[in-house]
Chains A and B, each alone.
Chain A
Amino acid sequence: MTLVESYQQPGHKAQPAQSDSVLLDVDNLHVHFETSRGMVRAVEGLSFNVKRGEIVAIVGESGSGKSVSALSIMRLLPKMTSRIPQGRITFDGRNLLDLSDEEMREIRGQHISMIFQEPMTSLNPILTIGLQITEPLQIHLGMTPEQARERAIELLGLVGIPDPARRLEQYPHQFSGGMRQRVMIAIGLACNPKLIIADEPTTALDVTIQAQILELMKDLSRRLNIALIVITHNLGVVARYADRVIVMYAARLVEEGIAENVFHKPRHPYSMGLLRSVPRLDRPRGAKLETIEGLPPNLAVPMPGCRFAPRCPFKIAICEQEPGLLQTDLGGLSRCHRHAEIAAGKLAWTGIGGGGEIPVAKETTPLLSVRDLVKHFEVRGGLRGDSGTVRAVQDVSFDIYPGETLGLVGESGCGKTTVGRLILKLEQPTSGEVRFAGTDIATASAGEMKTLRRKIQVIFQDPYSSLNPRMTVGEIIGEPLHVYKLVPGRKEQHARVEELLQQVGLRPEMAARYPHQLSGGQRQRVGIARALAMEPSFIVCDEAVSALDVSIQGQIINLLEDLQRRLGLAYLFIAHDLAVVRHISMRVVVMYFGRVMEVADRDTLYAEPLHPYTKVLLDAAPVPDPTIEKGREPRLIKGELPSHLAPPSGCVFNTRCPLASEECRQAVPLLREIKPGHFAACIKV
C-alpha cells in the first residue's frame, strides 16, 4: 500500500465529497501578551477558514501577528505571558481552545503538524533521522518499530531524499539545509495530518533549494489532499503556492481573497503598497522603488481608527473611525472604507517620483580593482578527522568605478561575503590583490591602512547585531568623528551627528537612544550613518537589506541610492536576492562555489544570461505574480551545493548543470569575454 492509497483508506476521514468543506475555522481570535512595556494586542479579531486540501497563505511583515496566529492554532503560545481573551478555533468540529492538554497533544501529533523556519535547529542533533521520524509513528499510530521503519523509508522517498534506508541511520549534521527541511516535511507528514502549518518554510534556504522545497510541498498537498497554511513575508512564495491569501497588518486581517485577485487587483491600500514596494524580476526596472513611508504602529499603545491610516496615501476623515471587514466587488474582504473607490480605479498609488537613473561619469581608472583573489581556510579536523582546505574564494577578479554599484550575487557558501571581508581587510587573502585607488590593501602598511580605512566602509546585514548594544546612537555615530578628529570639538561633533542622522532620515533626538529602542529599519539607518561619518568613497553593503521587512527594505534601498547620487559613493552590493540586486546595481557579478560565473551589465545579465548557473538562478527566483508562477514549468535545477571539502573537478557547477558533459569535468573554465563587457566562465557558451 502506498502512502497515497493509505490516505484513501476508510480510517482517514478525507473523503472526496467533503473536500470543499471547512477544515479549520478561526473566529474572532484575540491574542494578548503581557510584557514589561504593558499589554501587547498581538492579534485582534482574526477570522478566516481553511477548506480541506486548500493552500492558504498568511502574509505580513514582522509583528503583524501572523506567526502568533499560527502558534495559537497549535496552542503553542507561551502559557505564562499570553492570553486568548476571545475567539474560537474550530478544527474538524472541535474547538481547540476547549481541549485539555492531553487532547491537544493528540491533535498536534496526528491531525495538525507544523514546519518551522529554521531547519538547522528544529531537528535534535543527537538523535538519528530515523528515530525522529519513527517516534511519532509509534506513539500516535501505535506502529511496531518495523512498520514504523518501513513507513519512514517511504516518507523519505516521498520528500525526495535519495537512498532513504541508509540515510535513516544518519544524524542531522550529515544533511544539508534543504535536506533537513525535507526531513522536517517528512516528519510533518508522518501521521497523515489533515493540516500542515508552515511558518516561513523556505526563508532560511537558498533560491535554488527554495524552489525545490516549494515544488515538493505544493505537490504533496495536492496529491495527499492536505490543507496547508503558509506563513511568509515573501510575496513570490505566496504567488507560487497559494489558493487564497490573507494579508495581515498590525495585528489585524486587512485583506483576504483569491490569490490572483489579491495580487492583480488588491483592494486595500496596504496590499497595494506592499506589492509595489518589492523590486521585481518580472517587470521592467523602475527608476526608484515606491515605498510605504513610515513605520508600523506600536501594538502596546491602543489606537483608534484605521491602523494603516498614518501611512496611507488615501487617508480621509472617515479613516479616523475603525473600518470593519467589508465585502469587496471580487468577493474578498478588505478592511478599508474606500475599497469601492479602489475597485473603481479612482485611487491610484502615486509614485514618489524623482530619482531617475544615477549618472555615472565614465571613468577609466577603477576605484577598486580586485585581481585573482584567493582565500583558503584551513579546516583542522576534530575527532572525526575531516580536515582539509576550504577554497572559499578562487581567482575572483572585478573592478568597481567611482560612483558605481556593483552587485555580487550568489547562494550561501559561494564566497560572496568572504570577498567583502577581504576587501575590508577583516581577513587576509591567501593570494591575489585588492587595489583601492592604487594601493594594494593586502600588503598596505599600518599607516597606509589607516587612511584607506576611512575611505572604505561597511554596512552589515543584521541590524540587531551590527550596533554595539552598550553605546547610544550618538556615541556610535560620533565615535569615528572623535577617533579620526574629523571635527574640532565636542559641540561640532554633536552638530555633525545630528546632520548625519538627518541625512539618513532619522530625527536628531534619536542620538540619545540605545539600539534596542529602535526598530530594525531605524537601526539599519544608524549603521548607514556610522559608515557615512567617515566620509567614505566606497561602501561594502553585505546583505544590507535582506533582514528587513519588505516596506522597510524599499526605504533603505532608496536611501542608499539617494546617498549615492548626492555623495558620489561607489557600492559593492552583496546579496542573494536577485530582484534587489537588479534594482540597485549597474553591473552584476554572479558567484558560485567560490568562483565568478558571469559578469555583465545589469540589463544584459537579466535579459540574456549566458551561464547556465545564472539561468538556473533566475529561473528559480519566485516572482510575486500567481499567473506567472502557476504557469511555470518545473525547475531545471537539481541537487545541492557540493561539499567544500570535496570540490567537484573541472567546472564547479558541473554536478548540477543541465548542460554538463564529460569535458566540463576536465578543466576549470576560464572567465572569458563573450560579448563586449559580458564575461562568462563556461565552455558551452
Chain B
Amino acid sequence: MSLALPTPTAAMKSPNKVVEFCQQQPLGAVSFVIIFAMMFAGIFCELVAPYDPLAIDFASLLVAPSWEHWCGTDAFGRDICSRLIYGSRTALVIGFTSSFIGSTLGAMLGVASAYFGGRIDNWIQRVMDILLAFPLIVLALVVVAALRKFVIGGVDMNLIIAIAIPIIPRVARVVRAAALGVRVMPYVDAARAAGYSDSRIIFRHMAPNVVAPYLIMLTAFIAQAILAEASLSFLGLGVVEPTAAWGLMLSGNAADFYREAPWMILFPGAAISLAVFAFNLFGDVLRDYLDPRFKV
C-alpha cells in the first residue's frame, strides 16, 4: 500500500536551468530580459542607436512613428528612439551609482548602529527618522537645490548625491534590523571574546551576514532612483538639455505638443514604467532566491 504524494522533482530536474527558471519565475524571466535589453542599449548606445540623439533635423519635425523613425521625432526633429537608447545610459548610470552609494552608506550605518547600540544607535536612528520624514523625491529636490552643480565625466554628481541621500535611511533601517539579529549570534560574542577590533567584527563577522537584505534593497532602489532621476529631470532640476534623459523627454515642449504628437510622451513614459517594473521584479526574485525561508 502506498501513499501517492505528488513529486515536485519531475519539474525540478528538467535538463535546462534557463527553462526551469522561466517555468518557476515567469515574471522574473521577463524582468531579466528587460534589464538585459536596457543594459545592452545603455552600454552600446553608439552602435545601437540609429541616429545621433542630439542631431537637430528641421526637415522632420514631429514626425509620427514610421520605418525611418521607429518612435517618431520631437519638436526639434531629434529621433526619439535614439534619445531613448541614450536615455537608458543616463538612467542606468544615475540609477546604479546613486542606489549603490545610498545603499552602501545606509548598510554601513545600519550595521554600525546595531553593533554599537545604546547612545550611538539612538543618535543614528533619530537622524534617520528625520530623513525618513521626507518623501524620497522631496528630499532629493531639497538636496539638489542646495548643492552646487558639478559634473564628472559627463555625469551630474550632485544629482547622484541628491538621489543617494534619501536612500540611506531606508536601507539603514532594514539592514539595522537584520544586523540586530546577527549581533546576538554566539559567533559575534566569540569574536568579541577574542578581543577583535570593532571594525573587524563589523566588516568581517557582521556585514557578510547581512549581504542578502543589502542586495535586495540595492536592486529595489535602482528602480526608485531611476524614477527619482526622471522626476527631477522632468521638474528641470536633474539632467539638463540637450542630454538625453527619459524624464527630460516628458517635460519642455513635449507638454505643449502632446495632443498633436502623443508619441513624444508615450515612449519615454513607457520606458520609465518598464524599467521601474523590471527592477522591482528583479528585487523580488532576488529576495526569493537569497531568503531561505522562501525556498521550498
- Residues of A at the B interface (CB closer than 8 Å) are 34, 79-88, 95, 97-98, 421, 424-426, 449-450, 453-454, 456-458, 460-462, 465-471, 479-480, 483, 527, 530, 534
- Residues of B at the A interface (CB closer than 8 Å) are 1-3, 5-9, 185-187, 189-196, 200, 204-205, 208-209, 296
Given A81-B296, A458-B193, A483-B200, A470 contacting B208 (CB threshold 8 A): yes
The answer on a CB contact under 8 Å between B209 and A469 is yes
The answer on a CB contact under 8 Å between A466 and B1 is no
The answer on a CB contact under 8 Å between A84 and B195 is no
The answer on a CB contact under 8 Å between B6 and A424 is no
Given A468-B205, A469-B209, A453 contacting B193 (CB threshold 8 A): yes
Cα of A449 to Cα of B196 in the assembled complex, Å? 11
The answer on a CB contact under 8 Å between B193 and A457 is yes
Cα of A82 to Cα of B6 in the assembled complex, Å? 9
Given A79-B6, A483-B200, A95 contacting B185 (CB threshold 8 A): no
The 6 A-B pairs at the shortest CB distance, nearest first, are namely: A453-B195, A466-B186, A470-B208, A460-B186, A84-B3, A468-B187
Query: Among the listed A84, A468, A480, which residue makes an inter-chain contact with B5, where contact means beta carbons less than 8 Å apart?
Result: A84
Given A462-B186, A465-B185, A468-B187, A84 contacting B2 (CB threshold 8 A): yes
- With both beta carbons as reference points, the residue of chain B lying nearest to A75 in the complex is identified as B3
Cα of A317 to Cα of B208 in the assembled complex, Å? 50
The answer on a CB contact under 8 Å between A34 and B9 is yes
Minimum distance in angstroms from B122 CB to a CB of chain A? 13
What are 10 inter-chain pairs, A to B, with CB distance below 8 A?
A34-B9, A79-B6, A80-B296, A83-B3, A426-B192, A458-B189, A466-B190, A479-B196, A483-B196, A530-B194
The answer on a CB contact under 8 Å between A449 and B1 is no
- With both beta carbons as reference points, the residue of chain B lying nearest to A470 in the complex is identified as B208
Cα of A454 to Cα of B195 in the assembled complex, Å? 8
- With both beta carbons as reference points, the residue of chain A lying nearest to B195 in the complex is identified as A453
The answer on a CB contact under 8 Å between A426 and B194 is no
Cα of A470 to Cα of B200 in the assembled complex, Å? 14
Residues of chain B contacted by A461 (CB below 8 angstroms): 186
The answer on a CB contact under 8 Å between A86 and B2 is yes
The answer on a CB contact under 8 Å between B190 and A97 is no
The answer on a CB contact under 8 Å between B209 and A468 is yes
Minimum distance in angstroms from B293 CB to a CB of chain A? 14
Query: Among the listed B1, B187, B189, which residue makes an inter-chain contact with A98, where contact means beta carbons less than 8 Å apart?
Result: B1
Cα of A81 to Cα of B12 in the assembled complex, Å? 12
The answer on a CB contact under 8 Å between B189 and A426 is yes
Cα of A81 to Cα of B190 in the assembled complex, Å? 36
Minimum distance in angstroms from B281 CB to a CB of chain A? 24
Query: Among the listed A87, A426, A454, which residue makes an inter-chain contact with B1, where contact means beta carbons less than 8 Å apart?
Result: A87
Minimum distance in angstroms from A455 CB to a CB of chain B? 10
Cα of A426 to Cα of B194 in the assembled complex, Å? 11
Minimum distance in angstroms from A577 CB to a CB of chain B? 19
Minimum distance in angstroms from A502 CB to a CB of chain B? 21
Residues of chain A contacted by B195 (CB below 8 angstroms): 449-450, 453-454
Query: Among the listed A79, A450, A456, which residue makes an inter-chain contact with B193, where contact means beta carbons less than 8 Å apart?
Result: A456
The answer on a CB contact under 8 Å between A34 and B7 is yes
Residues of chain B contacted by A480 (CB below 8 angstroms): 194
- With both beta carbons as reference points, the residue of chain B lying nearest to A421 in the complex is identified as B189
In this complex, the member of A83, A98, A457, A461 whose beta carbon has the largest number of chain B beta carbons within 10 angstroms is: A83
Query: Among the listed B3, B193, B196, B205, which residue makes an inter-chain contact with A424, where contact means beta carbons less than 8 Å apart?
Result: B193
Residues of chain B contacted by A85 (CB below 8 angstroms): 2
Minimum distance in angstroms from A406 CB to a CB of chain B? 18
Residues of chain B contacted by A421 (CB below 8 angstroms): 189
The answer on a CB contact under 8 Å between B190 and A458 is yes
Given A82-B5, A97-B1, A97-B3, A466 contacting B187 (CB threshold 8 A): yes
Given A84-B5, A468-B187, A471-B208, 8 other A-B residues pairs in contact with their CB atoms under 8 A = A80-B296, A82-B5, A83-B5, A88-B1, A97-B1, A454-B195, A460-B186, A470-B208
Cα of A682 to Cα of B230 in the assembled complex, Å? 76
Cα of A98 to Cα of B2 in the assembled complex, Å? 9
The answer on a CB contact under 8 Å between A530 and B2 is no
Cα of A128 to Cα of B8 in the assembled complex, Å? 39
- With both beta carbons as reference points, the residue of chain A lying nearest to B8 in the complex is identified as A80
Residues of chain A contacted by B3 (CB below 8 angstroms): 83-84, 97
Minimum distance in angstroms from B229 CB to a CB of chain A? 34
Residues of chain B contacted by A79 (CB below 8 angstroms): 5-6
Residues of chain B contacted by A534 (CB below 8 angstroms): 194
The answer on a CB contact under 8 Å between A34 and B8 is yes
Cα of A95 to Cα of B189 in the assembled complex, Å? 51
Residues of chain A contacted by B189 (CB below 8 angstroms): 421, 424, 426, 458, 460
Minimum distance in angstroms from B82 CB to a CB of chain A? 45
Cα of A163 to Cα of B192 in the assembled complex, Å? 47
- With both beta carbons as reference points, the residue of chain B lying nearest to A461 in the complex is identified as B186
Residues of chain B contacted by A34 (CB below 8 angstroms): 7-9
The answer on a CB contact under 8 Å between B193 and A465 is no
- With both beta carbons as reference points, the residue of chain A lying nearest to B188 in the complex is identified as A468
Residues of chain A contacted by B191 (CB below 8 angstroms): 468
Query: Among the listed A83, A87, A88, which residue makes an inter-chain contact with B7, where contact means beta carbons less than 8 Å apart?
Result: A83
Minimum distance in angstroms from A305 CB to a CB of chain B? 26
- With both beta carbons as reference points, the residue of chain A lying nearest to B187 in the complex is identified as A468
Cα of A527 to Cα of B9 in the assembled complex, Å? 37
- With both beta carbons as reference points, the residue of chain A lying nearest to B192 in the complex is identified as A426
Minimum distance in angstroms from A529 CB to a CB of chain B? 12
Residues of chain B contacted by A95 (CB below 8 angstroms): 1
Given A465-B186, A466-B186, A426 contacting B2 (CB threshold 8 A): no
Minimum distance in angstroms from B292 CB to a CB of chain A? 11
Residues of chain A contacted by B208 (CB below 8 angstroms): 468, 470-471
Given A84-B3, A454-B195, A530-B190, A470 contacting B209 (CB threshold 8 A): yes
Residues of chain B contacted by A479 (CB below 8 angstroms): 194, 196, 204
Residues of chain A contacted by B296 (CB below 8 angstroms): 80-81
Cα of A534 to Cα of B190 in the assembled complex, Å? 12
Residues of chain B contacted by A80 (CB below 8 angstroms): 6, 8, 296
Residues of chain B contacted by A527 (CB below 8 angstroms): 190
Residues of chain B contacted by A83 (CB below 8 angstroms): 3, 5, 7
Cα of A532 to Cα of B23 in the assembled complex, Å? 50
Cα of A426 to Cα of B185 in the assembled complex, Å? 13
- With both beta carbons as reference points, the residue of chain A lying nearest to B194 in the complex is identified as A480
Residues of chain A contacted by B2 (CB below 8 angstroms): 84-87, 97
The answer on a CB contact under 8 Å between A460 and B190 is yes
- With both beta carbons as reference points, the residue of chain A lying nearest to B2 in the complex is identified as A85
Minimum distance in angstroms from B118 CB to a CB of chain A? 11
Residues of chain B contacted by A425 (CB below 8 angstroms): 193
In this complex, the member of B192, B194, B204 whose beta carbon has the largest number of chain A beta carbons within 10 angstroms is: B194
Residues of chain B contacted by A457 (CB below 8 angstroms): 193-194
Residues of chain B contacted by A84 (CB below 8 angstroms): 2-3, 5
Query: Among the listed A81, A97, A483, which residue makes an inter-chain contact with B8, where contact means beta carbons less than 8 Å apart?
Result: A81
Cα of A80 to Cα of B8 in the assembled complex, Å? 7
Cα of A241 to Cα of B272 in the assembled complex, Å? 69
Minimum distance in angstroms from B171 CB to a CB of chain A? 20
Cα of A479 to Cα of B196 in the assembled complex, Å? 9
Minimum distance in angstroms from B3 CB to a CB of chain A? 4
Minimum distance in angstroms from B59 CB to a CB of chain A? 61
Minimum distance in angstroms from A456 CB to a CB of chain B? 7
Cα of A454 to Cα of B205 in the assembled complex, Å? 19
Cα of A422 to Cα of B24 in the assembled complex, Å? 51
